[in-house]
Amino acid sequence: MKKFILTIAGAGSTYTPGIVKSLLLNKEQFKLEELRLYDIDGERQGKVAVIVKKVVEEFDPEVKVTLTTEPEEAFKDVDFVFAQMRVGGYKMRELDEKIPLKYDVVGQETCGPGGMAYGLRTIFPMIELIDLVEKYAKRTHWIVNYSNPAAIVAEAVKRLRPRARIMNICDMPVGTMRNIAAILGCSREDLTVEYFGLNHYGWFTKIMVKGEDRTAEVREHARKHGLLLEDMSKIDVQHSEPSWVKTYGNIKYMVDMFPEYIPNPYMQYYLLPDHIVAHMNKERTRANEVMEGREKKIFDAVDKFNTTGEMDLSAFYVGVHGQFIVEVAMSLVFDLRKRFLVIVENNGAVKNLPDDAMVEIPAYITSNGPEAIRVGEIPTFYKGLIEQQLACEKLVVDAALENSYEKALQAFTMNRTVRSAFQAKQILDDLIEANKAYWPELK
């Protein structure tokens, strides 16, 4: 049986233990010879690795685990790289969220000004990572990338490294499908959905269960309850936290007004920004919840292990996030042609959107990469919204490549979450100050 070498880039991530467990649960089919952990922050990675090693010990002790901060050691002859880096860490995420909120504008990790700020930090480190992998990895390697903001990352990579062997993915569509499946009383694998949009900006247009159209049932549920279930903790720990419960609940307002399609939960930031800001705690945003929750839980588990030798493996969970990246990788390597919602170049799949748009749509994942499935024409309302957001994302990439303040200001002004050019300028200027160590200079 072929064995694979796989590197996790950004291995100090809070998601690493869950992803590793998910990989090892598939060892009968997708056997690892070596798991390499790579991060620019050796200390953080070292802590997370304490849990990773415990997981390996428990689920597949044959796998060799290597920790490194050296690119050559990390990527030499690898088959796979799973990328999940957060440029600037949670400290910068917190500023991305809090600075726009000072102006009563949505403060969010990947949406609105915060998402654009995160994009300006991530474009060049992502290109650097691709180049390092290209230099050292096997010619047949694949990078499966979760690093956010995925829409801006995908646009930049398409322009700067069009031949990169990278699949950009997001767990939100598949996470939403998990809720939909629970609502319909079936498993996620039984669903076939139709969907179009950009990353964190799209809609489910049809939901089929084993050939039967069940969209109307989902719509009815969503109109009353959003995509909430009575007990969210049954499906996922992360998404049973208060802010995610609010997010899944807000879907009811959007489906009530626009019952045609079921929106990606992230549409709340663009369609209901006033409501979102009014119900946000400006002093304590999601970054604080994550630092005091998911991150603390992991570090506490490591501390406890170091002092008592006992490990609480419930400090992390696999969830749909860990499952999905492994499912995509397996479909790539074994040519399974599984149908997943992923980020691909449009090339006519959505007939009335530009060919070069990086869209999130269904595709068959083959050993040659994704084969996009044709969506056809989309209605004016959605087309207009998407074109505005797409222009915004393209302008962020332009701003980074051209060191252009004006393009950045255009992007911020165009975003639906921002009310005026004056406001865009104030937020942009504050973010420039906060991101001095990370952004390309904007002139």
Which residues would be at the binding site for ligand G6P (CB under 6 A)? 109-110, 148, 170-172, 238, 286, 290
What are 292's strand-pairing partners? Answer: none
- CB-nearer residue toward ligand NAD: 39 or 79: 39
- CB-nearer residue toward Mn ion: 68 or 147: 147
CA 304, 307, 310: angle at the middle one, nearest 5?
Answer: 55
Of positions 6, 12, 263, 327, contacts ligand NAD by CB under 6 A: 12
Catalytic (active site) residue 300: no
The least distance separating ligand G6P from the CB of residue 193, rounded to whole angstroms, comes to 16
Residue 68's contacts (CB-CB under 8 Å, 6 or more residues apart) are 36, 37, 38, 74
Contact call for residue 83 and Mn ion (CB under 5 A) = no
Contact call for residue 46 and ligand NAD (CB under 6 A) = no
b/e per residue, 333-372, with b = 16+ CB within 10 A? Answer: beebebebbbbbbbeebbeebeeebbbbbbbbbeeebbeb
The CB-nearest residue to ligand NAD is: 12
Q: Exactly one of 266, 269, 270, 382 is catalytic; which is it?
A: 266
Distance, C-alpha 70 to centroid of its chain: 25
CA 37, 341, 380: angle at the middle one, nearest 5?
Answer: 135
Of positions 6, 35, 172, 396, contacts Mn ion by CB under 5 A: 172
Of positions 25, 26, 27, 41, contacts ligand NAD by CB under 6 A: 41
Distance between CA atoms of residues 246 and 327, nearest Å: 29
10 binds, among ligand G6P, Mn ion, ligand NAD, none (CB under 5 to 8 A by kind): ligand NAD
Contact call for residue 154 and Mn ion (CB under 5 A) = no
Contact call for residue 9 and ligand NAD (CB under 6 A) = yes
Distance between CA atoms of residues 88 and 70, nearest Å: 19
Distance between CA atoms of residues 150 and 135, nearest Å: 23
202 binds, among ligand NAD, Mn ion, ligand G6P, none (CB under 5 to 8 A by kind): none
Q: Which stretch binds ligand NAD (CB under 6 A): 34-42, 130-138, 301-309, 417-425?
A: 34-42
The least distance separating ligand NAD from the CB of residue 370, rounded to whole angstroms, comes to 15
Residue 361 has, within 13 A of its CA and on its CB side, a CA count of: 24
Q: Which stretch binds ligand NAD (CB under 6 A): 37-45, 404-412, 416-424, 427-435?
A: 37-45
Of positions 7, 8, 14, 360, contacts ligand NAD by CB under 6 A: 14
CB 341 within 8 A of CB 174: yes
Q: How long is the chain? A: 443
Contact call for residue 170 and ligand NAD (CB under 6 A) = yes
- CB-nearer residue toward ligand G6P: 156 or 290: 290
- CB-nearer residue toward ligand NAD: 41 or 387: 41
Distance between CA atoms of residues 37 and 49, nearest Å: 8
Catalytic (active site) residue 266: yes
Distance between CA atoms of residues 137 and 5, nearest Å: 10
Contact call for residue 30 and ligand NAD (CB under 6 A) = no
Contact call for residue 170 and Mn ion (CB under 5 A) = yes
Structure token digits, residue 378: 């989309």
Residue 342 has, within 13 A of its CA and on its CB side, a CA count of: 29
Strands 262-263 and 212-213: unpaired
Backbone angles phi, psi at 206, to 5 degrees: -155, 140
Which residues are identified as catalytic? Answer: 171, 266
Query: Which residues contact Mn ion by CB under 5 A?
Result: 170, 172
